Amino acid sequence: MGYQRPTITCARCRKVVSVSAIGRVPTYCSPSCRTVACQARGGNRPSAEVRQRALIWGILQEAGVIPADRPPPRRKSEDAA
């Protein structure tokens, strides 16, 4: 059992935060600081599904299955369902 510091400094806003004696030592003072830090690191990238669809569409166009000038189909909106 290691010693945990009673306070930490938030990695984003530098606010001093008290630490619980039990559990993991936090890196951020709040979920909002964690979210902003993630976005600053490039967390606004397209989802894996969007990247995968684009990759497959490009492969199908290169193989000649789909004409190169044809845009990818739009996904059905969940609101319309």
The pLDDT confidence band at residue 12, using thresholds 50, 70 and 90, is: very high
Q: Are 21 and 5 in contact (CB under 8 A)?
A: no
Task: Say which residue, 62 or 48, is predicted with more confidence.
Answer: 62
Q: What is the pTM of this model?
A: 0.49
The predicted model gives 55-74 an average pLDDT of 88
CA-to-CA dists, residue 71 to 5, 39, 46, 54, 58, angstroms? 56, 29, 18, 10, 10
| Other C-beta atoms lying within 10 Å of the C-beta of residue 28 | 19
Q: With CA atoms as reference, report the closest residue to 19 among 11, 28, 33, 1.
A: 28
Tell me the pLDDT of the chain averaged across its residues: 84
The predicted model gives 60-65 an average pLDDT of 91
**Tokens 């669809």, residue located:** 53
The predicted model gives 19-45 an average pLDDT of 87
